[in-house]
Amino acid sequence: MAVKLMHYWTINPSSKDAYASFIIKKYIPGLNRLGVHTVAGWSVLVGSYSEVILETISSELDQLEAAFKTNEYRKLKSELLNFIKSYKTKVMMPIAKRGSYSMSIAEDTIKFNQMWDVITLKPGDYKSYEQFVTHEFYPLLEKIGVHLAGEWEVLIGDEPHTVCEGRVNNVSALIPALQSPEFRRAKKRLKLFVENYQSRILSFHIRKIKGYRSVGYELVDH
């Protein structure tokens, strides 16, 4: 079962050039060698949080735990801290089998991520929530052009504990869709079942590029 390790940080303005070189030439290749595969890096366009979010994934939780214990991971993290500040991580597991997560992401993709905590004050609350998101909220996201890439539970890291990962290819249509009465009504109803609701719009910071014989990475907004 796939396990996500999300990294969050803000770049030190005085270290931008050194940061760019380190991330592409050393940090990402080092993580990949440890079985912590880099999917993409993201910049936060809308929503308050860290400047950069690095999305990495391992095939199993045991593999991720083994990587944490290596000297190579400790050295990579120590060197990274020379170029950034406010570093933190989250470990996330997929919830059920909703969405169709793929490590291959189109070049024009924008993310629309939503986060929340489910309210369970009495028996049956979670079932009602499940029915709503499964049969109404998530289908509406697909209808307005937000593809459900995955639903994740935060095992280690800051709340909220549920992450709905959405990917958007028609960027120009996203904001009008989120401002539509249909989405606003659905979000208002969602908040009957959840608390600590947050959302963020993300664009590429680091993008995977496929060469003739190998896969590399490029910094998009340096």
Using the predicted structure, report yes or no on whether residue 215 has a pLDDT greater than 80: no
190 and 117, same domain (yes or no): yes
**Pick from 19, 22, 35, 21: nearest CA to 70:** 35
pLDDT level of residue 29 (50, 70, 90 thresholds): very high
127 and 193, same domain (yes or no): yes
Asked, for residue 98, whether it belongs to a domain, the answer is no
Range of the domain at 79: 3-93+203-219
Give the chain's domain count. 2
Asked, for residue 173, whether it belongs to a domain, the answer is yes
150 and 211, same domain (yes or no): no
Asked, for residue 123, whether it belongs to a domain, the answer is yes
Whether residue 40 contacts residue 206, with contact meaning beta carbons closer than 8 Å, is answered with yes
pLDDT level of residue 93 (50, 70, 90 thresholds): very high
Which residue did the predictor score with more confidence, 192 or 213?
192
166 and 210, same domain (yes or no): no
What CATH number should be reported for the domain holding residue 172? 3.30.70.100
Residue 149 host element (H or E): strand 147-156
pLDDT in the model for residue 211: 62
* 3-class state of residue 129 by DSSP: helix
Portion of the chain with pLDDT greater than 90, in percent: 81
Please give the Cα distance from 9 to 23 (Å, whole number).
12
**164-188 pLDDT, tens per residue?**
999 999 889 999 999 999 999 999 9
Asked, for residue 81, whether it belongs to a domain, the answer is yes
**137-164 pLDDT, tens per residue?**
999 999 999 999 999 999 999 989 999 9
Asked, for residue 58, whether it belongs to a domain, the answer is yes
Asked, for residue 103, whether it belongs to a domain, the answer is no
**Pick from 151, 206, 154: nearest CA to 32:** 206
Asked, for residue 71, whether it belongs to a domain, the answer is yes
8 and 83, same domain (yes or no): yes
119 and 67, same domain (yes or no): no
pLDDT in the model for residue 213: 63
Across 13-26, average pLDDT: 95
pLDDT in the model for residue 171: 86
pLDDT level of residue 214 (50, 70, 90 thresholds): low
pLDDT in the model for residue 100: 79
**32-91 pLDDT, tens per residue?**
999 999 999 999 998 877 799 999 999 999 999 999 999 999 999 999 999 999 999 999
| pTM listed for this prediction | 0.92
